Amino acid sequence: MEHPFWRTKFVVTDPDDIRSIIGSGIKEVWIDVEKGLDVSAASETREQVDAKVDEALMHAAVTGTPQQIAPRQRVAMAEEVERAAMICANSKGAVVSMFQEVRMGKAISAGAAGELVDEISSSVMRNPGALISLARLKTADDYTYMHSVAVCALMVALAHTLDFDDRQTRDAGMSGLLHDLGKALLPMKVLNKPGKLTDEEFRIIKSHPEEGHRLLVEGGTVEGMPLDVCLHHHEKVDGSGYPHRLKDEQISEFAKMGAVCDVYDAITSNRPYKAGWDPAESIRKMTEWCNGHFDMRIFQAFVKSIGIYPIGSLVRLSSGRLAVVTEQSEHSLLVPRVKAFFSTGSMTYIAPELIDLARPGATEKIVAREDAQKWGIKNLDRLWVA
């Protein structure tokens, strides 16, 4: 996520590479045992890792069902997506203004921030998938601002899944909206740098939790959990996070929620230095990272809130067709609604077909996640947004 290298994975060919990794402060790396020259027979294979991930995701799918919005409140994805798009546009402008005011030394307006949280929360309550998915489609230049909107929405959805009361849910949303406020004081050339960060630039990036916390304390308009999440959303349960290297029981529930929501939006979004990952692939990656990074109970609740195959995920169906996930099912995390649009047999686009995999008698099922680049598919997001 945040390191001084311009790539997240590369072959180590020089001892200086190892010294650079150690010197950067990175505490843990993943090693591809199939490419190493000194592979140990005891090393865990990719197949073993995948099997563990599958087991963990299946556990999340069957241990209870996602907290559902009351039927009288929930609306269809197609109905909410237009309103959600307007909220995203308005929210971006509001967050840009908020960051600009902070840069000018002004305090955050708790009232204005609260109104924004309420508007985002209302959309999430009507249909959680609409705004959360649209907020993921930010450009690299919009990332710093829309990331706050996305994490706010994710925190609200997660709080709802955890059965928080209205006050706690609002606090969760406010925490998500303000968690990266410290980045308002960082140089944009560092935040949006497309290449490798220097050690000094990396130190600057890592200062944003404490800078944001200081701004909120000095402003005096926000208190409670938003302060804690702003300061501690980069802590990890194994104590390897920052700024205070807190361990499991020392990290609040809200900060643990912030850590999960922050990482998910970061890795699924286009950044100046990398393209976003597929949502379903991101969930699998986060499942691999759970030991040490995230609180398992919080992460499982997060999976329930957005799905094992979140909206926008590319999947292959048992018929051999490729489909994009368009909406979650109220019945199971394993059977979302999808739009089939491509035949892997004939390697051609086909007339789009909406399929409810949870419908009684449905013959299709998801057999695999797929990489759009592998199939030469572009503009995948247009398919589910439409």
Q: For 3, which DSSP code?
A: -
- pLDDT for the residue numbered 42: 54
Angle at 24 between CA 19 and CA 26, to 5 degrees: 100
Give per-residue pLDDT as tens, 75-130: 888 889 999 999 999 999 999 999 999 999 999 999 999 999 999 999 999 999 99
Confidence of residue 69 (pLDDT cuts 50, 70, 90): very low
Q: Is the pLDDT confidence value at 63 over 70?
A: no
Give per-residue pLDDT as tens, 46-58: 777 778 888 888 8
Please provide the DSSP assignment of 40-98 as one string.
Answer: -TTSPPHHHHHHHHHHHHHHHHHSS-PPPPPTTT---HHHHHHHHHHHHHHHHHHHHHH
- pLDDT for the residue numbered 353: 96
Fold category of 77-306 in CATH: Hypothetical protein af1432 (1.10.3210)
Structure tokens at 138: 């930010």
For CATH 1.10.3210.10, list the domain ranges present in the chain. 77-306
- pLDDT for the residue numbered 331: 80
Q: Is the pLDDT confidence value at 67 over 60?
A: no
Confidence of residue 68 (pLDDT cuts 50, 70, 90): very low
Q: Is the pLDDT confidence value at 337 over 80?
A: yes
Confidence of residue 43 (pLDDT cuts 50, 70, 90): low
